[in-house]
Amino acid sequence: MLHGYGADGNDLFGLAEALAPHLPDTVFRSPNAPEPCAVNPVGRQWFPISWIDGSPEAAMRDGVRRAAATLHAYLDEAMAEEGVGLEQTVLLGFSQGTMMSLLVGLRRAETLGGIVGFSGRLVEDDEAGPITARPPVLLVHGDQDEVIPVEAIHEARAGLAAAEIPVSWHVSQGAGHGIAPDGLRLALDFIARTVGGAKNGA
């Protein structure tokens, strides 16, 4: 689970309590992003965001690449520690964590079990390398999102479809920049289908 800008790993770990009863034999991990957040020193960021913190766009691009390398290494280490393969692994991201999930998850040597992205967008970066994996993707966004407009989900699904990546999507009505109950239920169903870990009736 990859948190958003200015939060930390604890921010999403509460989702594990909701998902765990339906996903037996599942390990939940929620790492901190690698950098302190420029506008919230007690939080973390995967990379600077120029239109929020005033950093140069070049610094933002460099930060994206550093974070991608860090996340690739973290996934390698985490899977080795837990004894699971990439096909048994789902990346679940929120906001900036969704951007990282899509950027890295589509550029692994092997294919992930899936990617769930809440309230994020698809980051295009030619220097990140070509897409090498096409796991199933679920995108969820609130129609009242005041941070990343809902149009981002339509741009992302179009970009993924153009790259021949299987993508499903849902807009949560009346939801802002967060994870609504209907979106979480869809995420649970998606994870259960992709990695086969749900109990009957979950």
- Our measurement of the distance from residue 130's CA atom to the centroid of its chain's CA atoms, rounded to an integer in Å, reads 19
Q: Give the range of the structural domain holding residue 109, as residue numbers without chain letter.
A: 9-32+85-195
Q: What is the CATH number of the domain that holds 99?
A: 3.40.50.1820
Share of the chain above pLDDT 70, in %: 95
Beta bridge partners of 7: 44
Q: Is the pTM of this model over 0.85?
A: yes
The string over 58-71, giving b where at least 16 C-beta atoms fall within 10 Å of a residue's C-beta and e elsewhere, is eebbebbeebbebb
- Total domains in the fold of the chain: 1
Residue among 22, 154, 170, 177 flagged as catalytic = 177
Contact 177, 97 (CB under 8 A): no
d(CA 99, CA 199): 30
**In which band, very low, low, confident or very high, does the pLDDT at 200 lie, cut at 50, 70 and 90?**
very low
93 found inside a domain: yes
Residue 123 pLDDT exceeds 90: no
186 found inside a domain: yes
Pairing of β 114-118 and β 90-94: parallel
Is-catalytic flag, 170?
Answer: no
Residue among 11, 30, 145, 172 flagged as catalytic = 145
d(CA 53, CA 86): 34
Residue among 30, 95, 101, 119 flagged as catalytic = 95
Is-catalytic flag, 95?
Answer: yes
67 found inside a domain: no
